[in-house]
Amino acid sequence: MKAVAIRRLYLREAAIMLVLARLALSILPPARIFAWVNVPLKRVNRFAVDEIGWVSWAIENLGERLNAGCLPRTLAAHAMLRRRGIPSQVCLGVGRHDDKLAAHAWLEIKKEEVVGRSETHRFVRIAQFGGAQT
C-alpha cells in the first residue's frame, strides 16, 4: 500500500475517533470513560510497533488542525491503539501555568509518551488508567 493511502486511512480513522472522543466527553460521566480505558485488552499484538508511530502522527496532526484538546486526543489515540491490540496508558497531570492551575492528559506506552508529549514536563502525574507498563 502506498504511503499516501496509508496516511489517508489513519487520518480518516483519527477524525472519527476524535469526534467520538469529544462526544463521549460531553455526554458520559468521567467514571464511565475511565472504566472503559481500564478494561484489559483481549489480545495483545506485540508486532505492531510501526502502528504506534502512524497513530501518534495522525492524532497529533489532525488534533492540531481541529483544535482538539489533550484529553480527546489521548482518548482517541488510546482507542485506535486498543483496536490494534497495543496496550497504552492514559495519564492525567496537573501543574501551574501563568499562576493558574492547569491540567494535561497524555498517552504512554512502556513509560514513553506517545501523544501529548510536548507538555508533559510541566505537569505532575496524578492519575493513570489502562494498559500494562511492561
Q: What are phi and psi of 42, to 5 degrees?
A: -80, -35
pLDDT, tens only, 39-68: 988 888 877 778 899 999 999 999 989 888
Question: pTM for the whole thing?
Answer: 0.90
pLDDT, tens only, 63-94: 989 888 999 999 999 999 999 999 999 999 99
Domain boundaries, the chain: 3-130
Burial, 25: exposed, middle or buried (Cβ in 10 Å; 0-12, 13-18, 19+)? Answer: middle
